[in-house]
Chains A and B, each alone.
Chain A
């Protein structure tokens, strides 16, 4: 008898919990609130202070900040939750935005919904079929230890220099830095996105010089601090922040040129408060926010109207000319080919390491 009563209590408590959950959910939709999915770390701090707080005041709204996960993880979450509400706006890297758009997960946006899109550089106005504007770009630079690497390098080929055996860090090709290095290696060997073989060939030759196999950007910091590695392809924005913190590092765009990654904002089809979401994207693309963000994080703004004081020259790519010198990969092709490249990288590097011994 008593057992049955316990069972019934469990059922009641469970139902009550479910009921509470269900009844609070619609209530939240009434308030002017959006959920923004961004990155953690410095990016998150700057975003909250320079964009979210002024936005909340201006629009008398609340922005909930979800800082979990990389761009790819955000795409994974969007795909997994599909029709269920997750976020109103999310950051995504170019190729992830394209994949999400093509899988039918994003709302198409243009200047009619987000007027500031018209103020962006032309290449930034539309990704895919308008799944999002490009909000900033960040080039891959060659980061080097100023005390150890002399003379200051000006070519990617320094990574292959036998002098720096064991002193190079590279990222797995499943992450943007590694992916772009593969492409740069392919260009250097006479190939490109569609003819990737020379890239894999050159990466194989790079293996003896690699002293650290890393993935996420924050992982690099202790290796650079302790001078375990002296040379690595790295994102410009984060590199400039480390230089500001006083690490003896230099960041250079090598003479062969470089690739830049694009950051976009997407509005999921499952967004709840679309009007406010469009306002938010529009607000972020405003000259004031774009400029403030570039000053703090060194991401190159895509708003044509932004200008920065001279001390930022060479540290952020501002203006049509500087941005014109950056190369943007065929993101469409990257989104498709990445899986196969990850598999090939796993096998190739494993193989190269085996024969090295």
Chain B
């Protein structure tokens, strides 16, 4: 037993080598390049001068407009995360607990959007949500509104697009956790006189919290990095960091500033991520202690 485990442990580095190599070449190196670029003073139409500068960071951090875009990005991330998880939980619960024949089919339905490029999905939403689109036509026919509701280039439109984008990931991260909950615990709660509602809130839900937290982190990082949906549906009233980075990197070619914005997003998102994990760890620690 121990020798087998030791052998498996020793094989670890060897087996991980290809992945580590890939990560190094395609992730760590580009990231290092990005970081070094963010300290360079790139001026379009001139060879880049040597030497390092903090000007790119100052330009972002001392400007209320850019700080506003950072805040908008994070708020959008939080709102989408909450909405996606709230919508995903009942679906995941149904998938995990349901005993119907359609289970496999339903799972496929949940995963299906992932098989379609996010660009196509976004264009789908644009067609549906346009002023002359299907949603507005339905609302008009039903007499719910008198004139078309503006969805495109508004916050609501971006929210709809992003929640849809994040939903499959949220569902998938919850199904496994809900399935793993030991149902005898629920039976015990029921046996001790708790109703189904109380059983859920007192037993099932707390046990799925780690899954919810993992799902939240996943959805949050996907959302703050999402580019296509805000770029195509957002318009200028919602400038988020991803669209800002795209502008700097591929249009104005002010790479130094673009790299600085990318680094700031990375640092802030990672910081929130680690902070949340720490908080969660502490909460779990308290839970077991109690």
Q: Is there an interface contact between B127 and A174, defined as CB atoms closer than 8 Å?
A: no
- What are the interface flags for A163-198 relative to B under an 8 Å C-beta threshold, 1 for contact and 0 otherwise? 000100000101100000000000000000000000
Report chain A residues within 8 Å CB of B251.
72, 174-175, 342
Check: A79 CB closer than 8 A to any chain B CB: yes
Task: Tell me how far the C-beta of A280 lies from the nearest C-beta in chain B, rounded to whole angstroms.
Answer: 26
Interface size class of A (residues with CB under 8 A): 35 or more
Give bound CA distance, A212 to B151, whole Å: 11
Check: A56 CB closer than 8 A to any chain B CB: no
Give bound CA distance, A349 to B238, whole Å: 10
Report chain A residues within 8 Å CB of B253.
72, 75-76, 79, 99, 339
Within 8 A of A (CB), among B105-147: 123, 126-127, 130-133
Q: Is there an interface contact between B126 and A99, defined as CB atoms closer than 8 Å?
A: no
Check: A227 CB closer than 8 A to any chain B CB: yes
Q: Is there an interface contact between B17 and A10, defined as CB atoms closer than 8 Å?
A: yes
Within 8 A of A (CB), among B223-242: 231-232, 235-237, 239
User: Interface-forming stretch among B43-51, B83-91, B192-200, B201-209?
Assistant: B43-51
Report chain B residues within 8 Å CB of A346.
65, 236, 239, 244, 247
Check: A54 CB closer than 8 A to any chain B CB: no
Check: A226 CB closer than 8 A to any chain B CB: yes
- What are the interface flags for B211-231 relative to A under an 8 Å C-beta threshold, 1 for contact and 0 otherwise? 000000000000000000001
Question: Which residue of B has the minimal Cβ distance to A75?
Answer: B253
Q: Is there an interface contact between B236 and A338, defined as CB atoms closer than 8 Å?
A: no
User: Interface-forming stretch among A1-9, A37-45, A260-268?
Assistant: A1-9
B235 partner, pick from A79, A99, A213, A342, beta carbons under 8 A: A213
Task: Tell me how far the C-beta of A261 lies from the nearest C-beta in chain B, rounded to whole angstroms.
Answer: 15
Report chain A residues within 8 Å CB of B126.
222
Report chain A residues within 8 Å CB of B130.
222-223, 226, 228
- What are the interface flags for A223-242 relative to B under an 8 Å C-beta threshold, 1 for contact and 0 otherwise? 10011100000000000000
- What are the interface flags for B232-271 relative to A under an 8 Å C-beta threshold, 1 for contact and 0 otherwise? 1001110100001001011111100000000000000000
A3 partner, pick from B14, B133, B152, beta carbons under 8 A: B14
Report chain A residues within 8 Å CB of B247.
172, 174, 342, 346
Describe A's contact surface by its main secondary structure.
helix
A350 partner, pick from B15, B17, B237, beta carbons under 8 A: B237
Within 8 A of B (CB), among A68-82: 70, 72-73, 75-76, 79
Give bound CA distance, A215 to B228, whole Å: 12
Give bound CA distance, A65 to B120, whole Å: 25
Check: B13 CB closer than 8 A to any chain A CB: yes
Give bound CA distance, A219 to B153, whole Å: 14
Check: A353 CB closer than 8 A to any chain B CB: yes
Check: B18 CB closer than 8 A to any chain A CB: yes
Specify which of B46, B123, B253 lies most central, judged by the most chain A CB atoms within 10 Å of its CB: B253
Q: Is there an interface contact between B18 and A10, defined as CB atoms closer than 8 Å?
A: yes
Specify which of B44, B132, B235 lies most central, judged by the most chain A CB atoms within 10 Å of its CB: B44
Question: Which residue of A has the minimal Cβ distance to B238?
Answer: A350
A99 partner, pick from B13, B21, B44, B133, beta carbons under 8 A: B44
Check: B11 CB closer than 8 A to any chain A CB: yes
Give bound CA distance, A213 to B237, whole Å: 10
Report chain B residues within 8 Å CB of A338.
44, 252
Q: Is there an interface contact between B14 and A4, defined as CB atoms closer than 8 Å?
A: yes
Check: B10 CB closer than 8 A to any chain A CB: yes
B249 partner, pick from A3, A4, A76, A98, beta carbons under 8 A: A76
Q: Is there an interface contact between A211 and B15, defined as CB atoms closer than 8 Å?
A: no
- What are the interface flags for B31-53 relative to A under an 8 Å C-beta threshold, 1 for contact and 0 otherwise? 00000000000001111000000
Report chain B residues within 8 Å CB of A7.
13-14, 17
Give bound CA distance, A157 to B132, whole Å: 26
Report chain B residues within 8 Å CB of A222.
123, 126-127, 130
Q: Is there an interface contact between A350 and B45, defined as CB atoms closer than 8 Å?
A: no
Task: Tell me how far the C-beta of A237 lies from the nearest C-beta in chain B, rounded to whole angstroms.
Answer: 21
Give bound CA distance, A72 to B248, whole Å: 11
Report chain A residues within 8 Å CB of B239.
346, 350
Task: Tell me how far the C-beta of A225 lies from the nearest C-beta in chain B, rounded to whole angstroms.
Answer: 10
Q: Is there an interface contact between A102 and B46, defined as CB atoms closer than 8 Å?
A: yes
Give bound CA distance, A70 to B253, whole Å: 13
Within 8 A of B (CB), among A1-42: 2-4, 6-7, 10, 14
Report chain A residues within 8 Å CB of B252.
174, 338-339, 342
Q: Is there an interface contact between B17 and A226, defined as CB atoms closer than 8 Å?
A: no
Within 8 A of B (CB), among A303-342: 335-336, 338-339, 342
Give bound CA distance, A174 to B254, whole Å: 12
Check: A103 CB closer than 8 A to any chain B CB: yes
- What are the interface flags for A70-108 relative to B under an 8 Å C-beta threshold, 1 for contact and 0 otherwise? 101101100100000000000000000011001110000
Question: Which residue of B has the minimal Cβ distance to A226?
Answer: B132
Which chain A residues have a beta carbon within 8 Å of chain B's beta carbons?
Answer: 2-4, 6-7, 10, 14, 70, 72-73, 75-76, 79, 98-99, 102-104, 166, 172, 174-175, 211-213, 215, 219, 222-223, 226-228, 335-336, 338-339, 342, 345-347, 349-350, 353-354
Beyond A72-B250, A335-B44, list 17 extra A-B contacts (CB 8 Å): A3-B13, A7-B14, A72-B251, A76-B250, A99-B253, A104-B47, A213-B153, A213-B235, A222-B127, A226-B130, A338-B44, A342-B247, A342-B252, A346-B65, A346-B239, A350-B65, A350-B236
Q: List 8 A–B pairs whose Cβ atoms lie within 8 Å, in order of A's numbering.
A: A3-B13, A7-B13, A172-B236, A174-B251, A228-B131, A346-B236, A350-B237, A353-B237
